[in-house]
Structures are given as C-alpha cells and as structure tokens.
Amino acid sequence: MRPVLILTHAPHEGPGLIAPVLDAPVRVRTVVSSQDPVLPGLDEVSGVVVMGGAMDADDDRYPGLVAEKRLLAEAVAADVPVLGVCLGMQLLALALGSELQRRHGTEIGFAPVDVVGDDPVLGQLGERPSVLHWHNDAVTLPSGATLLASTATTPVQAFRAGSALGVQFHPELEPRMLDLWLTTPEMVDELADDEIEAIRADGAKYLPDLAPAARAMVDGFAEQVRARG
C-alpha cells in the first residue's frame, strides 16, 4: 500500500490519533519554511493529511505553504483522499479558490460545533459534538463545496470538496497532545492561567466521548485511503 503523506507545521501539532487509525504507512514531512520543497507525486501516495499550525494560511514568510496549496489543489483534481485540519483546512480552502479572513473571530477551547451537512466521514462525530477549537482566522466556503459544520463565530467549520474533507477544529486530539499544548509557550502565552485550567478540565470532560467518535471519523477517511491503495 502506498503511504499517506502527512504535512505538519509545528513539532507539537502532529497527527495525534490520526496516524494509528489510518492503519497504513505514513510519511510525515514539514516543509513550511522550504523555498522549493520536494514533495512526493500523487501517484506515490494513497492520501494526504495536512495538520495545524500557528501561521496564517496566506503568510508569504512561509514559502512551503505555496507548495502545500498546489499539492492540495492537484490532489482534489485527481480524486486523492485529503483531510485538512485547522490550518490544513484553511490551506485546502485557499487551494480551491477561497479567501482567508484573518482575525475573523477567536475560538479557543472546547465548545459545540453544529454539523449541518450529511457526510459519511464527518457524520461519525454526531450532530453537535463538543470539540477543541484553537484559531482566529476563518475561510469562505470554496465554490462547489458542501458546508458540513458551523458555529456562530466561524460559519465554515467543515466542508467537503470531492475527495477532500476540511475541518477547522481538532479531531486529532488525544489527552497527551492536549497536555503538550497546554505546556507549550507558543500555544498558551496569550492565555490566562484560569483559561488554561478550564481547557484542561474540559479535556477531561469531553475527550473520553470525543476520541472514539474522532477515531470513527478518521476510520471513514481511512476507508477512502485503503480504497485508493
């Protein structure tokens, strides 16, 4: 089976529970600062996963993002399974012609998201799951894409565009990853101590139910990956 390409943008924002659920070989790359990154051809991979990061999706200080967006556009055109998470969703949206709305609205912490579309992969999370949000940028819905989830602050929380699924929130989260985030200065420098503790407490409350649903969601994506082989 061909490997799944996983693109990351920060050491603490890895694939979390996604990689083991894929049950496939994975190839993790970080090319965000590369001027001319060498990425595998789409005929070499069975799927593409793009994770989160603190940078803006259109920030030209990170030239590797241009190559990521080009790869994502090509993957959708070639019907290659794609999963974009947080920054990964924004890169996917921009690759498909959307606009980035910088500082549109801050969402940090666990809160419900309304699942508004019928999708066999995202639908595994349920109708109104409480998920971890950690962003302040948003995107417009790509032309021809189907809106799948929304909040009052961020109208486009998830969408489907052919073979690609983008989610603004963080289904990859595991307790150890949450602990890492809450002790990483880059993540929490602008949060007060009580905000950090509230996220920690909410993680203990919501992750026991969310993680199995997230694994089921990722397994739905994995089925698409296995079908490509």
Active site residues: 86, 170, 172
Across the beta sheet with 158-161, the strand order is 26-29, 4-7, 47-50, 82-85, 164-167, 158-161, 146-150, 114-115
Q: How far apart are the first and last CA of the chain?
A: 5
For residue 190, which of 108, 104, 100 has the smallest C-alpha distance?
108
User: Residue 207 — φ and ψ, nearest 5°?
Assistant: -65, -35
Q: What sign results for the dihedral spanned by CA atoms 12, 122, 217, 24? A: negative
Number of helices (H) and strands (E), helices first, in the chain? Answer: 6, 12
Q: Is 128 exposed, middle or buried (0-12, 13-18, 19+ CB in 10 A)?
A: exposed
Strands 138-139 and 100-101, bridge-based pairing: antiparallel
Strands 146-150 and 158-161, bridge-based pairing: antiparallel
